[in-house]
Amino acid sequence: MQSAGEALRRVMEAAASGLLLEHGPGLRDPCEKELVDALGNLSAQQREDLTASAQQFLRQIAFRQIYKVLDMEPLPKAKAGGAWKFPRKRRRSNTDADGDTPNGEGKIVKTEVKAEGAETSTPAVKK
């Protein structure tokens, strides 16, 4: 299934390739028994204009200016510091004070500690 934007781009690609030109393949009318060009009443200049417009629209779509093709206001730009653009790396949860063990070798094990009837959980490092 194609999105509407993808379908529009494909139609523009077909029109920009010369499909509508006078000596091109043409656009056949599917409702007629005989081979009838659906754009037969257009002049050669109108066909060239349609092809040139489709090529220009295709360029604008490729450069993310589809709002010009659709004759509408551009959508607001995304915020520059979006998390999706530059994901931060996770910090290592294990930092050793001594230099004998490199970071990340020990596992963090969650232990239950009872203190005066209340249960609290504190992380403990297992090596």
Residue for token digits 């754009």? 39
Strand runs (DSSP E) across the chain, as ranges? 107-115, 118-126
Alpha-carbon distances of 109 from 62, 95, 102, 106, 126, rounded to whole Å: 52, 14, 18, 9, 6
- Per-residue pLDDT, averaged over 30-50, amounts to 91
The dihedral sign for the CA sequence 48, 50, 54, 60: positive
Name the burial class of residue 118, with classes exposed (0-12), middle (13-18) and buried (19+) by CB atoms within 10 angstroms of its CB: exposed
pTM of the predicted model, to two decimals?
0.56
Q: Which CATH number fits domain 4-69: 1.10.260.40, 3.30.70.20, 1.10.1410.40, 1.10.150.130?
A: 1.10.1410.40
Min mean pLDDT across 12-26, 41-55, 109-123 is at 109-123
pLDDT band at 25 (very low <50, low <70, confident <90, very high): confident
pLDDT band at 97 (very low <50, low <70, confident <90, very high): low
